[in-house]
Amino acid sequence: MNNFQNILLVTVLITFIACNGAAMGKPVNDNIPEVALLEKKPSQPIQPATIQIALLLDTSGSMNGLIDQAKTQLWNLVNKMTYAQCNEVQANIEIALYEYGNTTIPQQEDFLRQIVPFSTDLDLISKELFALDTNGGDEYCGAVINHATKNLEWRNGTQDLKMLFIAGNESFLQGNTSIDDVMKDASQKDITVNTIFCGDAQTGISLKWKNAAFLGKGEYMVIDHNQQTQYVSTPYDDQILQLNSQLNSTYISYGSQGQSRIAQQNYIDNQTAGVSVTANVNRSVVKSKSVYNNAAWDLIDAAEDEEMLEDLILANKKTLDADLKDKSIEEIKAITLVKKKERESVQKSIIDLSEKREAYIKSQNAGENGLESAMINAVKKKAALKNYTWK
C-alpha cells in the first residue's frame, strides 16, 4: 500500500510540473505567467501609390518653344517626382502624352493624337517628345481633355494622384465639346485638370484658361514658352556623366526587342546630350533610380530573383548578345549577377553625387524653369491633400 501511495504521489507531481510548463531537467519559475501563443499572420506590404500625369501639348505652329521646354525639362521633372512618398513608400510614376492643334492630324479626329498611353517607359516618352513637330491648326482643348479622360487607364486607388496638364495659347473654347461636361467627367474620376497658358496672365484669363482650371479643380499657370531653359553647371556634372557611361555598360538585353531598345537608350542619351550638359545629367540621375526600369528588355531589371533570372536566360538565350550565346546558362547567370552588383554600386555613386549637386544648385539661387516648375508646384499642392511627403 505504501508503494502504491508513493507511485501515486510521483505521478501527481509530474503532472503538476508538466501543467506549469516545466520541461524535464529545467527548473520551474513560478513568477513567469502563462502566455497564450497566437498565430501571427505575415503583414501585407504597403502597395505604392501612383502619380499619373497626362501631358497635353499644343503642337500648332507657334508652339516650338513649348516643345523644346518639354524635351529639355522632362528628366528633371521626373527626378523631382521620385522624391514623392505616400505612407513612407516611394510613389510610382506614370506619364501619358498627347498632342493637339496640329493640322497634320485629320479634322475628323479633332486635330488630336494620343502619342503614349500611361507608361513607365521614360525612354519611349523622351523619344516621342524629340519626334514632335509643330504645324498650325485649331486647338480643341475640350476635345483632347475629353479623349484623355475617357481613353486613358486611370487608376482608382484612394491614394493615387491623377493629374492632367494642358498647355497652349489659343482660346480654350474652340471646338464643339462642352467644357462644363468635360470637367464634370474628369471630376467624377477624381482627375485634376491643370491649365498652362503660354503667354501673359491677363490674356490667358480672357481666353478662359483660368476658368477652365477652376472647373477642373486645378491650377491656372502662366509660362513664357519661348524662354530658354536655365542651366546651372556644377562641379559634379562630369563625374555623373562618366558614371552614366559605366551604368550603360551594365545592361544585358534580351528578347525580340532587346537590341533595338538598348540602341534607343543610347539614342536618347545622345539626343539629350545635344540639348545641354545639364539635361543629360538630369537624365543620368533618373537612370540611377528605381523609376527608370527596363524589365521588358534588360535581364537585371526583369529578374526578381536568381531562379527567375535562370528561367529568363533559358527562354531567351538565342536573343542575347553574340558574346553570351555560346556560354552556358550558369556562366551567363554569373556574368549577369556581377553586372547587377556593378550597377547597384554605380547607381549609389550617382545618387550620392546628385545630392551634392542639388545642394550646390540651391546655393546658386537659380531661377525656375517654366513648364517643369509649373507642373511640379501643381503636383505638390494636390499631393499635400493626400498626405504625400517629399523626401
Task: Give residue-wise pLDDT tens across range 186-230.
Answer: 999 999 999 999 999 999 999 999 999 999 999 999 988 877 677
Q: What are phi and psi of 354, to 5 degrees?
A: -65, -30
Exposed / middle / buried, residue 205 (Cβ in 10 Å: 0-12, 13-18, 19+)? middle
Q: What is the secondary structure of 308-321 as a DSSP string? A: HHHHHHHHHGGGS-
In 120-247, where do the E strands start and end? 161-168, 192-198, 220-223
Using the structure block, give the residue that is written with the C-alpha cell 485634376.
192
Largest CA distance in the chain: 116
On whether the CB atoms of residues 108 and 65 are closer than 8 A, the answer is no
On whether the CB atoms of residues 360 and 236 are closer than 8 A, the answer is yes
Whether 71 shows a pLDDT value over 90: the answer reads no
**Which class is domain 50-228+369-390?**
alpha beta
- Closest C-alpha among 151, 143, 224, 153 to residue 179: 143
The grid cell for 275 is: 540639348
- pLDDT category of residue 265 using cuts at 50, 70 and 90: very high
**Could you tell me the residue ranges of all domains in the chain?**
50-228+369-390, 236-363
More confident residue, 61 or 128: 128
Using the structure block, give the residue that is written with the C-alpha cell 499631393.
383
Percent of the chain with pLDDT over 70: 87
What is the SS3 assignment for 194?
strand
Residue-wise pLDDT tens digits, 352-375: 999 999 999 889 876 666 788 889
Whether 81 shows a pLDDT value over 60: the answer reads yes
Residue-wise pLDDT tens digits, 269-302: 999 999 889 999 999 999 999 999 999 999 999 9
What is the SS3 assignment for 391?
coil
On whether the CB atoms of residues 134 and 61 are closer than 8 A, the answer is yes
Residue 339 carries which side chain, given as an amino acid letter? K
- Closest C-alpha among 58, 55, 101 to residue 74: 55
Residue 237's CB is within 10 A of a number of other CB atoms, namely 19
Residue 320's CB is within 10 A of a number of other CB atoms, namely 21
pTM: 0.83
Exposed / middle / buried, residue 5 (Cβ in 10 Å: 0-12, 13-18, 19+)? exposed
